[in-house]
Structure 1
Amino acid sequence: MITLNIKNSRQESIDAQKGNKNRFNSFAPIRSNTSVSWLIDGQDYFEAVINGISSAQSFMYISSWWLTPKLYLRRPANEDNNRQYQLDLLLKKKAREGVDIFVILYKDLHGMGSEYTFKILTALSPRIHVIRCPDVPLLWSYHEKYLIIDGKRSFVGGFDLSFARYDTVDHVLSDYPSTNRPSEMFPGQDYNNPRVRDFQRVSHAGETLVDRTVIPRMPWHDISMFMEGGVTIDLIHQFEVRWNYLRNLKMLKGLKLPALPLERIVAVNHLSNNSNSINNDFGGTNQVQVVRSASNWNTDVSHEKSIYQAYLDLIAEAQHYIYIENQYFISSVDQDNMILNKVGKALVERIKLAHLKGENFRVIVVLPLLPGFQGDLTSFESSAVRSIMHLQYISISRGEDSINKRLEQAGINPSDYIEWYSLRNYDKIIPPLKKSRLAHLSSMIFRHRHRHQLQQNRDIDYFVSEMIYIHSKVVIVDDKRALIGSANVNDRSLLGDRDAEVAVIVEDTEYVPSFMNGKKYEAGKSILDLRLRIWKEHLGLLEVEDWEDLSLPGLEQDDSEMAERQVMDPLSDIMYQILWRNKAKRNTLIYRDVFHCVPDDTIFTYDQHTAFVPDSKRIPYGHAPGFNNTPSDNNATTIQAKLDKIRGHLVQFPLDYLNQSDIITRNVWEMVTPLVIFT
C-alpha cells in the first residue's frame, strides 16, 4: 500500500514554492500512481461532478471563474427526477449531511452574477463559505477551475459549473422536444448564443435570452479530467493558502470566515485516528504535476508562471507531434513585441529544428472560428471580437512577426509542419406548429395542390449553422504527455502576474502498442486514449466499430484496436491528408456554399463581407440564403444533399479572412482601448 503523509506533503509544497526545486519551477512536485479519467464535453463532466459531490463525506473545495447555482447537472431537467441534481440543491443536501463547502469565486464586473451566486450559496447553509476574488477591481481575473472532494478526488480543466457548458458529443444547435426526447435539454439561459446576445440577468435562470424558435444555440466543446491520488494534496495546498490569504485581505470582514484547514478536515475520512497518512493506493499509472499562474494579487506568492514554462518545455522536447486545442492563441516570436509570451517562438524554433534535421514533425492547432463575444463583425459592439482577432492573426499568419511569416523567412512552407483548424456544425430548428397554424397550412396545401413546394419552402427555413465554441485548454505531445487546465495561450493566462490559472501535466507510465510515422510505437495508454477520443469526435468517427472496413490505403491491421491506432497515426501523411485536410476542406466548402457563413477565407475586405453574408434584415442569424423565399441557388433538397456529405465537425481555420482590411481600427473607441486587456 502506498501512503502519503499529509503534513509532510503540505510542507513539501511550501518548501518547493520557496526554492523552486521542482520541474517547470512549479510549487508542486511530480506525483506518481495517480488515476485519471478524461471528461470530454459537458455531459461527461457534469455526470462525474454529480458522482463526486454525492460521494463527499467531509469537505469540498470549489474554485471557479463562474458558477451558476441553478445549473442542472443532469438533463433533461424535467425527466426522471433530474431536478434534484440542480447544483445548489446538491450542495445544500451535502451541507445538511455535515460536509463543509468552501468556494473561491471570481468577483466579476461584467454581469456574470457573482454577487447573486454569493448570496444564494451562503444562504443555503452555514457550512457553505464563499470568497469572491479580487476584492478590488483589476484588469485580471481569477480563472482557476477545479473541485476537490474529501482530499482524495479532484477535477481540473476548462469547465466552469455554469450556464452554456452542458453539451453532448453531437453539439446540436436546436432544442425542441421530440418523440425521442420529450423535454428540453437546454432550459432557460442554458440555451445561449453569445455572438447574438451575451449573458444578462443570470439570476433569471429560466429566461432564454435568444429566440430559440429561430436562433441556433452555440455548442460548447470543453475538456476536464478527474483524478484520484496524491496529486490532490497539491491542489488542497493551492486552495488553502489562497483562501487564507484572501481571508486576511478582507480584514474584519474576513474574520467571520474560517481559516483553513479546519481541524476536522485534517482529522476525518482520509486520516485514521492515530495516523497522518492518506491512502494513495488508487492503482493509477500516471505521473501528474500541478502547475499554475499565480502572484500576490491572488495568493501568498510573489510570482509563479510554471504553466508557461511547461508549455515552452513540452514544445521544445516534442519528438513527433504537438496537438493544441485552446480558446485563444495570442503569442509572439519576437522580443520587441507587445505580446510577451513566446509560445509562438517555441513552435517556430522546434519546426525549424525539424526542418533542419529532416524530421517528420507535425503541429495541429484547433481554435474557435471567432471569439465568443456579441456583435456583428462590422458593428461597433464587436470591438472586443475584432481586437482578439487582430491579436490572433498577427500571432499566426499576418506580419513579419507571425509564426507563418517567420517560417517562410527560413525557407519553410508552414503547412508542411503546422496547420490550423476549427469546428462547426449544422442542424434544423423546427418549432412545433400550433394546431391553428397546422390547420391553415393543411388547407393551403389542399387548395393549391403544391404540397411539395410548400414543404420545400418551409424546410429551407429550418436549416442553421453555427461554430462549435472551443473552450478547452489542452496540449498533447507524442502520445506521451498532456497538459490540461484553465490557461489560454495568451499573456493573461501564461505570464503569472495576470490571470490566476491552474493546470496539470500528465504522463502515463503504462505503455501500449500504437503507431507513429507508420511504425510501431509505444504510447502512454491514457494519453493515447485522450487523443483518440478527441480526434474521433472532431472527425466524425466515434461510431466506427470496424476500423478495418474503412478501406483506407495502407491499412494493414486485422485487429480493430490496432487498425484504429494505425488510422489515427498523427504522422501518417496519407491518413492526415484524408482525415484532416480533405475532410476539413470539404466541410468548409459545403458550409460556404450553403450558409455563406463567416469568417471565410474568400472574404478579404469588409465590403466583400457585407456582400457575402445573408442580409440580417431578411435572414435571421445562422440561417441559409433562401430563408422566407429570399433568392438562393439552393432549395431544401439540394441543401440536405450537400449537408449529408459533411463528416464530423472539422473545418479550416480562415487564415485569410479580412486580410486586406484593418480589423482593429474601425472606430475611435477601438483606437483608444488598450490592447493589453486582450493579450
Structure 2
Amino acid sequence: MSGRQLVREEEEEEVYGHRYMRMPAEPDGDASVASFRLPESARAFDELPRARIVGVSRPDAGDITPMLLSYTIEVQYKQFRWLLYKKASQVLYLHFALKRRAFLEEFHEKQEQVKEWLQNLGIGEHMPVVHDDEEADDVHVPSHHDEQTVKNRNVPSSAVFPVIRPALGRQQSVPDRAKVAMQEYLNHFLGNLDIVNSREVCKFLEVWAVLKPGFLALLQDPFDPKLLDIVIFDVSPRMDRNGEGQIALAKEIKERNPLHFAFEVSSGGRTIKLRTRNSAKVKDWVSVINTARRPPEGWSAFNAIASSIEDAKSEIFITDWWLCPELYLRRPFQHHESSRLDILLESRAKQGVQIYILLYKEVSLALKINSLYSKRRLLNIHENVKVLRYPDHFSTGIYLWSHHEKIVIVDNQVCYIGGLDLCFGRYDTPEHNVVDVPPSTWPGKDYYNPRESEPNSWEDTMKDELDRTKYPRMPWHDVQCALYGPACRDVARHFVQRWNYAKRNKAPNEQAIPLLMPHHHMVIPHYMGNSKETNEEESKQTHDKDIRVQRLNSLKTPASCQDIPLLLPQEPDHQALPNGDLSPNGLDINHGHSDHPNKTNWNQPFPYQKAKQDTSLQDLQMKGFVDNLGSPEVSVITRYNTSKPNMHDMNKDWWETQEREDKVASVLDVGEVGPQATCCCQVVRSVGPWSAGTTQIEGSIHNSYFSLIEKAEHFVYIENQFFISGLSGDDTIKNRVLEALYRRILRAEKDKRCFRVIIVIPLLPGFQGGIDDGGAASVRAIMHWQYRTICRGPNSILQKLYDVVGSKAHDYISFYGLRAHGRLGDGGPLVTNQIYVHSKLMIIDDRMTLIGSANINDRSLLGSRDSEIGMIIEDKEVVSSTMDGRHWEAGKFSLSLRLSLWAEHLGIRPAEVSQIMDPVDDSTYKNIWMATAEANTMIYQNVFSCVPNDHIHSRTQFRQSFAHRKEKIGHTTIDLGVALGKPETREDGALAGTDPMEKLQGVKGHLVSFPLEFMCQEDLRPFFGESEFYTSPQVFH
C-alpha cells in the first residue's frame, strides 16, 4: 500500500481492513512552541481526492433525525480507493474544527502583525504568544499564511446546513435527501486542496500507527518506511463459543490525569502504551486491534483469491466442482459488494483479461448444483469470459464420475489448490459459528446446511433456504494452498489440457471458444513413458530432430496427435530460485518469464532430462511432473498404467528427482494465512481418457499416498472428507492407502518404535437426510463403506490390528471429528452441528505435506474415475523441534501448518503451543489430544445427545431417541442438535440440574472422538426397496 494513502486520526478510517492513525507521544521539552507548515513537496496529496456517497443508514428505522444518519463514503485518490463510515455528527465536528482553525490562523497572523508593529516602535523585543492548550492533537496552528490561504481554508457554514436539515426535493425519503446534501458538502470540501492537504506539526511529538492484519507498525513519518517499532500479533484461537479464553491484544488503561486517554497493546511478551484524543477513540482502537489477528480461512483463502483476481493482467483459469457466481469473497458482505465473484470477473474482463472457466456438468437428477445456471450467469458478464461444462453424459457415456479439482490460476504466476470450491457454504472462520442472526457473514443461501436441506433453486441467492431461528448452519473446515513459481505453471498446464480436450469434444467448431497454449515451464510431454536414462551432457548436444525421434521410439504404443502437447524451449537465461530468498509477498512474478514469450526459435537444440525409472515396473508406473529447477531441462511427465498397483514398487523414492523448488503458503481456517517457505513441490493427478483425453490412466495421487506413508518415520496426520480404502486382497475397494498404513504400523510394532496415525474425518456424510429417513440411503451407504474400512469386518484396519497387537491398536491409530455449538439468536435454543471436514490433507513427520482435491476413496484415487489434482510439498527450510522426546529437524511449512491446525482443534492458546510440539509423545497424544477429544465428546453427549454417538446402535434406538427429544423440546434438528432449555427450579429456588451453557464452558476447541459403535447393529447398505440398490456401488466408494 502506498505511503501516501493515509488517514488522519480525526477521520478514524478503515482502509480495506488497514487503519492509519497519528498518535501523540510524550511532549518534547526542546520542541518549538510555534508550529510550522511543511514544504509543498511533503504534503499528503498532490492532487484532489474524490469522494462519493454510496450508502446512508440509520440505527432505528423509526428515527428520522438527520444527525443520527450514518454515511458510507467511498474515497479515491489516484489508484487507491477506500471506504469511510461516518455519522453526520462527525462531519459537523470536523467542519467546526476547521472553522476554529481558520479563526486561530487569522488571530495568529494579526498577532504577528501587532508584534512587528510594536517592535518597530521599540516597545518590546518579545511579545507573549497565545497558545491553545485545549487544541486537539490533530488541530495545528500554522505560523504564517497569506490572506488568500486563510480565506481558502475557511469553509462557509452555509455549506453544512443542508446536512443538518436536508431540504425537500425530488427524493422522497430522508436518507435520499441526506445523501444528496452530504454529496454536495463533500464536493465543496474536497474542492479545496488547502483544506484536505493540511499536514502541520504541533508542539507534541507524534507517531503514525499503521494497523494491518497481523501487525501494528509505528512510523515517525508516513513517507518514511523506516520503522520506529512493530508488534507482530499472536494467533489466538478462542477457547469456547462465547469468546471466553480469548487473549486480548489491546486493552484500555486508566491514566492518572483524567484528561489523558490511553490503551496498551501486548503480544509476544512485550507491551507498548499509546495515547489518543478521547475515550471513544480508545475503545474503537482496542476493538479493531483485537480483531486484527491473522485472517481466518474463509477470509484468507477467498480474500487472497479476490486480490489475485483484482491484480490479474492477462488471463485467469478457474475450474471447480461447484461454482456460484454470486459468492462474496470478502465479508461482511454488506460492505464488500464489489467482492462478489461475478462482479470481480466482470471488472477484469472489461480491462482485457481473458477468463476461462471449466465447470463440472453434473447429472441434474443426482445433484442440485445447477452448473447450467452458473454458466449462463458467467457468459452474460462479458465476451472475454469463456465457459465450458464437461462431460456431456449422453455422448461420452460418463454418468458416475465427476471433475473434482478446485483450481484458480492467475497469469500463470500464482495458483490456489486444495479443497475449496468457489461456492456457497465454504466461507468460514476459526470459531466455526453455527449461527448468523441477523445475517452479516452468510447471506441467503450461503447459510448452508446440506444435512437439513439442499436448495432447489439458485435464482434468488439472497433468499434464505433455512430458517435461521430454527436450524444451525454446518460449519466448514478446509485447507487451501497458494503456490508461486514454476509448479504453478504445471497446474496451469493441467487446466489447459482439460480445457482443450473439452473444447475438442463439445465445441470443435465454435470460434468463440479458443484452444489454449501452455506457457513456458508447463509443457510436460506425457508420452516419454519408458525411455532409458540419458546422459545430461549428451542430451544437451543432441539436436531437436534427434530427440524427437528418440522420444517416439521409446513409446510402447503410439500416441495420438491430441496426446502430444506443443513443445516449447526453455528460456536460456533461466536461473535457479535462491533457497530462502523470499520476496515480501512470496510472489516472484519475473521468475521464468522471458522478455519475448512468443518468440520461439525452433532450430535451437532442445535439452531435456528423462525421468529415472525402474525398467521392472510393469503394473505400477508412476506419473508426475519432473523438473530440475536449477537446470534448463524441460519438465517431463511420464505416463503409466495404474490399474494393478504393485505394492513393493510403491516404496521407490520417486520424488527424489520429480520435484520443483517453489514458494508455497497454506490458507487455513485456523486464524492465519499459513507460513510462506521455499519448498520442493510436486504436482500429482488423477486423470484418464474420459477426463483429460490421456491415452493412459494416471493415478499419481494414489501412489503418492502409499509412498509417503511407507517413508514415514514417526507419524501420519490425515484430514479428509472420506476414508474408504482396502487391504491387500480386497477385490471391492481398489485403493491401497489402508494397506500402506497397516504395513507401516506392523513395522513399528516389529521394531518396538512409537508410531502414530491420526485421522480426522466428518462425523456424518454431508448429504441431505436423517439417519433413518427413507431418502437417505446414500448417507447410510457411505457410512457402511467407511465403517467397513475403519472397524467393522475382517477387512477393517482396527480389526486386523487387534488380531496382531490387541488393545495396543489405539496407540497406533485413532479417528476423530469436529463439532461446534452456539445459540440461535438472543434467547434462542442452544444448538450444535458437526464441523464438516472437507480438507484433503496429509502431513508426514512435520516434513512433508500433501494438499489437494482428492478424497481417500476409489473415486478420487484410481485415476479412471473422478479427476483430481494435488501438490506434494517437501520442506527445504528446517526448524528445531522435538519428536518422540528427541531433537528433530522439522520442516518450517509442515510444522507450522500442523501446529496451527492442532491449536484450533484443541483450543490451544499461543503461549501453550509448545505443549503440542511433539505429536507422538504420550504427553501430547494421550494427555492432550485424546483427552480433549474424549472430554468434549462427553460434554456434547450430556447436553445434546446428538448423533452420531456410541450409545445408538440401531435405527430403532435412533427413532426412540429422536421421538423422546422432539417430545421434550418440540423441535430438533435432523441430527438431534438442539439442547433442552434451562433446568427447572426446585421449591428452594435452586436449579434441578446444571445449566447446559455452564456445561458447555468445558468444551475446548472442536475436537471430538469419532463414534466407532454408532449403528453397529445395522446393515447400512441399500436394500432392494431403495433406488440406490440399483446404482453401482462404485458411486459410493
1:298-322 C-alpha deviation (Å, 9 max, x unpaired): 1131210000000000111100000
Deviates more, 1:497-506 or 1:276-285: 276-285
1:65 aligns with 2:321: yes
Mark the CA change 1:96 to 1:582 in structure 2 (over 3 Å): closer, same or farther. same
Q: Does 1:646 align with 2:1003?
A: yes
Is residue 174–residue 212 contact of structure 1 (8 Å, CA) maintained in 2? yes
Instruction: Give the letter for the 1:521 counterpart.
Output: W
Q: What corresponds to 1:604 in structure 2? A: 953
Give the direction of change, closer, same or farther, for the CA distance of 1:635–1:256 in structure 2 (3 Å limit): farther
Partner residue in 2 for 1:453 = none
1:322-471 alignment runs, 5 A limit: 322-412=716-806, 413-430=808-825, 459=827, 461-471=828-838
Ranges in structure 2 where 5+ consecutive residues have no aligned partner: 1-293, 523-567, 572-588, 600-628, 631-660, 664-675
- 2:937 is matched with which residue? 588
Matched with 1:675 is 1033
Q: Following TM superposition, by how much is the alpha carbon of 1:233 offset from its aligned partner in structure 2, in angstroms?
A: 1.6
Match of 2:290 in 1: none
CA contact (8 A) 2:720 2:838 kept: yes
SS in structure 2 of the partner of residue 569 of structure 1: coil
Secondary structure at 1:546's aligned position in 2?
helix
Residue 565 of structure 1 deviates from its aligned partner by 3.8
- Relative to total residues, which structure has the larger helix share, 1 or 2? 1
Alpha-carbon contact 2:819-2:832 (below 8 Å) kept: yes
Q: What is residue 450 of structure 2 aligned with on the other side? A: 194
Cα displacement (A) at 1:51: 1.3
User: Cα distance, 1:157 vs. partner?
Assistant: 0.3
Instruction: Quote the offset at 1:640 in angstroms.
Output: 1.2
Structure 2 residue aligned with 1:85: 339
Partner amino acid, structure 1, of 2:721: Q
Instruction: Report Cα offsets for 1:75-115 as digits up to 9, x if no partner.
Output: 11112xx0100000000001111111111110112220111
| Structure 2 counterpart of 1:546, from 911, 916, 925 | 911
Q: Deviations over 1:245-272 (max 9, x none)?
A: 1111124454431111289999998744
Q: CA deviation at 1:616?
A: 4.2
Counterpart position of 1:31: none
Aligned partner of 1:495 in structure 2 is 862
Matching residue within 962, 972, 992 for 1:620: 972
Q: Which residue number corresponds to residue 553 of structure 1? A: none
Q: 1:49 aligns with which of 305, 311, 329?
A: 305
Are the equivalent residues in 1 in contact too, given 2:830–2:979 (CA < 8 A)? no
Cα deviation, 1:407-430, whole Å, max 9, x if unaligned, reads 112234320100000000110012
* Residues 7-18 of structure 1 mapped to structure 2, 5 A cutoff: none
Task: State the alpha-carbon separation in 2 of the partners of residues 539 and 514 from structure 1.
Answer: 20
Which residue is 2:466 aligned to?
210
Amino acid across the alignment from 2:1030: V
Residues 833 and 977 in structure 2, CA contact (< 8 A), matched pair in contact too:
no
Q: Secondary structure of the residue that 2:409 maps to in structure 1?
A: strand
Query: Which residue in 2 is equivalent to 1:456?
Result: none
Q: What is the SS of the residue equivalent to 1:657?
A: coil
Give 1:619 deviation, angstroms. 2.1
Higher relative contact order (CA 8 A, sep 6+): 1
Mapping for residues 237-256 of structure 1, pairs under 5 Å: 237-252=493-508, 254-256=510-512
Paired with 1:133 and 1:661, the residues of 2 have a C-alpha distance of 38
1:162/1:635 CA distance change after superposition, 3 Å: farther
Partner of 1:161: 422
RMSD over aligned CA atoms reads 2.7
1:178-202: per-residue Cα shift (whole Å, max 9, x none)?
xxxxx61110001011111023212
**Partner deviation per Cα, 1:548-594 (whole Å, 9 max, x = no partner):** xxxxxxxxxxxxxxxx3453311110122222111111110111111
Q: Residue 332 of structure 2 corresponds to which residue in structure 1?
A: 76
> Is 1:116 aligned to residue 373 of structure 2?
yes
CA distance in 2, matches of 1:634, 1:106: 56
Q: Give the 3 Å change call, closer, same or farther, for CA 66–170 of structure 1 in structure 2.
A: same
Deviation digits for residues 20-41 of structure 1, max 9, x if unmatched?
xxxxxxxxxxxxxxxxxx9973
Counting matched residue pairs gives: 589
Per mean C-alpha deviation after superposition, the further-off stretch among 633-642 and 259-268 is: 259-268
Q: Which amino acid aligns with 1:261?
A: M
Contact 2:360 2:391 in 1 (8 A): yes
Alignment partners' CA distance in 1, 2:345 and 2:300: 19
Quick one: structure 1 residues 469 and 636, their matched pair in 2 at CA, closer, same or farther if it must change by over 3 Å?
Answer: farther
Is 1:170 the counterpart of 2:431? The answer is yes
SS for the counterpart of 1:365 is strand
Task: Determine if the alignment matches structure 1 residue 481 to structure 2 residue 848.
Answer: yes
More displaced 10-residue stretch of structure 1: 372-381 or 197-206: 197-206
Shift of residue 676 of structure 1?
1.2
Deviates more, 1:284-293 or 1:645-654: 284-293
Residue 125 (structure 1) aligns with: 382
Q: Give distance in 1, aligned partners of 2:471 and 2:747.
A: 47
Alignment check: 8 A CA contact 2:484 2:662 kept: no
Superposition deviation, residue 214 in structure 1:
1.0
Q: Name the counterpart of 1:304.
A: 698
Among all aligned residue pairs of Structure 1 and Structure 2, give the percentage whose two residues are the same amino acid: 39
Q: Tell me if structure 2 keeps the 8 A contact 1:40–1:223.
A: no
Of 663-672 and 586-595, the range deviating more from structure 2: 663-672
Structure 2: distance between partners of 1:43 and 1:672: 42
Equivalent-residue separation in structure 2 for 1:507 and 1:39 (angstroms): 25
Q: Note the alpha carbon deviations across 1:44-86, whole angstroms, 9 max, x for none.
A: 211111111111111111111110000011111112xx01000
Structure-2 change in CA distance of 1:120 and 1:671 (3 Å)? closer
The letter of the residue matching 2:750 is L
- Quote the Cα distance in structure 2 between the aligned partners of 1:667 and 1:41: 43
Shift in alpha-carbon separation, 1:243–1:635, aligned structure 2, 3 A: farther
TM-score (norm 1): 0.82
- Where do residues 125-144 of structure 1 align in structure 2 (5 Å cutoff)? 125-136=382-393, 137-144=398-405
CA distance in 2, matches of 1:325, 1:631: 44
Supply the AA of the counterpart residue of 1:146: I
**Aligned mates of 1:262, 1:486 — CA distance in 2:** 22
Q: Which has the larger radius of gyration?
A: 2
Query: Cα deviations across residues 471-525 of structure 1 (Å, max 9, x unaligned)?
Result: 0000000001000000000000000000000000001111000110111110010
Moved more, 578-587 or 642-651: 578-587
SS in structure 2 at match of 1:387: helix
Greater shift after overlay, 266-275 or 68-77?
A: 266-275
Is the CA contact (8 Å cut-off) linking 1:39 and 1:226 kept in structure 2? no
Q: Is the 8 A contact 2:483 2:662 kept in 1?
A: no
CA contact (8 A) 1:619 1:627 kept: no
Distance 1:667 1:197 in 2: 25
Aligned residues of 2:816 and 2:1008 also touching (Cα < 8 A): yes
**1:330-350 deviations in whole A, cap 9, x for unaligned?**
111142331111111111111
Q: Give the aligned partner of residue 444 of structure 1.
A: none
TM-score by length of 2: 0.54
Aligned counterparts of 1:390 and 1:344: Cα–Cα separation in 2 = 16
1:612 Cα deviation after fit: 2.6
Q: State the one-letter code of the partner of 1:126.
A: E
Change over 3 Å in CA distance of 1:476–1:462 after alignment to 2: same
